[in-house]
């Protein structure tokens, strides 16, 4: 977790409680909180003058600030980092949430793209923020490919990799295509792809087709080419899913907040920048929390990112799932949500 040394030893119990209440109020309302409000919420009564003195100390330490003269106080980014790393008590995930996440993943079985789509949507709903997931293009050697007719003009291409992942893609086929063509295309691909990655298989098959060394007919050749084309031929890259952006527009209190959300939307649309999300997840084990300027992807919007990797059966990181939203996230709830979801996906893949 990318946090600098915290001032936890410098805070006494009274200062910690005041600071915790300021953060709690910010997460709840997004508004500055003053000494009079804090006085009513403290476990032990303190005068407004005493509370103001405590707040002055917290401000001198860089943990809180006043957005304008005579205002209450808000936590700074540094203060939020300190709170998350030093004071926050991470909540236990509700059993109903656990059951819902597990059930949603089980519904998708071994179909990883469907599981990622469904789970990201669910995570967005449970967190009331934007859920996102990044998974790289499959690098595991392929085990099996099959074409399945869906209608007169569509077919399903099913690929199974050596690590057990299943991907389904739909392609268009000529109307009235004989079933024997799909069988021939299936047999041809399986004779060439076993033990090779998709990129290796594409290169080998296209070279053979272009060199006219294949004995398959014209229709089968087209089905094979279209089947390979749906995976794309570029190196690197990956699948990015973002769901629940509309959640970020809820509870926007001021024009500057709306502007930050707009900047976040622009960052989410910049897919080429988002491809570094997996690198972020690779930096450490388990859940990582990036608050404001911690995160180069979203520093302009002043947003927070909570992200965790999920792994294959061989313990290789194959993707990352997380939540992005304003810095006043409910960290105590969302951190265990992301952590549990990543672990369920890891079990699904394994």
List the domain boundaries for the chain.
Answer: 8-87, 95-137+237-349, 142-229
- Phi (first) and psi of residue 262, to 5 degrees: -60, -40
User: What's the whole-number mean pLDDT along residues 199-205?
Assistant: 81
Instruction: Give the model's pLDDT for residue 140.
Output: 72
**Secondary structure of residue 16 in the 3-state scheme:** helix
CATH number corresponding to 142-229: 3.30.390.60
CATH number corresponding to 95-137+237-349: 3.30.450.40
Contacts for 37-44: CB closer than 8 Å, 24+ residues apart:
37/72, 42/17, 42/18, 43/17, 44/14
Query: Does residue 235 have a pLDDT over 50?
Result: no
User: What's the whole-number mean pLDDT along residues 148-156?
Assistant: 86
Quickly state the pLDDT bin for 20 (edges 50, 70, 90): very high
pLDDT tens figures, 252-284: 665 666 777 777 777 776 655 565 665 666 666
Given strand 142-149, what is the order of strands in its sheet?
Answer: 142-149, 154-161, 166-172
Q: Which CATH architecture has domain 8-87?
A: Orthogonal Bundle (1.10)
Alpha-carbon distance 35 to 64, whole Å? Answer: 13
**Would you tell me how many other CB atoms lie within 10 Å of the CB of residue 56?**
12
- Average per-residue pLDDT for the chain: 81
């Amino acid at each position: 977790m990318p946090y600098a040394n915290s001032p936890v030893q410098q805070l006494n119990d009274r200062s910690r409680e005041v600071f915790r209440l300021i953060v709690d109020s910010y997460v709840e309302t997004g508004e500055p909180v003053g000494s009079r409000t804090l006085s009513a919420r403290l476990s032990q009564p303190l005068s407004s003058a005493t509370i103001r003195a405590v707040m002055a100390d917290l401000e001198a330490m860089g943990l809180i600030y006043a957005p304008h003269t005579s205002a209450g106080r808000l936590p700074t980014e540094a203060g939020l980092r300190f709170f998350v790393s030093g004071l926050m008590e991470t909540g236990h995930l509700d059993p109903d949430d656990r059951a819902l996440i597990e059930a949603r993943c089980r519904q998708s079985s071994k179909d990883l793209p469907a599981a990622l789509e469904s789970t990201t949507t669910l995570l967005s709903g449970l967190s009331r923020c934007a859920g996102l997931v990044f998974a790289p293009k499959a690098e595991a050697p392929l085990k099996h490919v099959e074409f399945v007719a869906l209608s007169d003009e569509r077919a399903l291409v099913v690929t199974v990799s050596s690590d057990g992942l299943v991907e389904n893609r739909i392609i268009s086929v000529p109307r009235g295509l004989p079933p024997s063509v799909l069988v021939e295309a299936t047999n041809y691909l399986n004779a060439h792809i076993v033990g090779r990655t998709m990129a290796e298989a594409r290169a080998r098959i296209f070279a053979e087709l272009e060199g006219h060394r294949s004995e398959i007919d014209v229709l089968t050749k087209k089905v094979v080419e279209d089947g390979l084309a749906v995976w794309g031929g570029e190196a690197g890259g990956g699948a990015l899913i973002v769901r629940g952006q509309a959640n970020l527009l809820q509870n926007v209190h001021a024009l500057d907040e709306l502007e930050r959300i707009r900047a976040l939307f622009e960052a989410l649309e910049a897919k080429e920048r988002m491809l570094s999300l997996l690198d972020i997840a690779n930096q450490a084990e388990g859940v990582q929390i990036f608050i404001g300027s911690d995160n180069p992807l979203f520093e302009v919007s002043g947003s927070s990112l909570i992200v965790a990797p999920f792994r294959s059966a061989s313990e290789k990181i194959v993707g990352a799932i997380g939540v992005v939203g304003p810095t006043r996230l409910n960290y105590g709830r969302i951190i265990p949500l992301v952590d549990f979801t990543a672990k369920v996906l890891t079990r699904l893949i394994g």
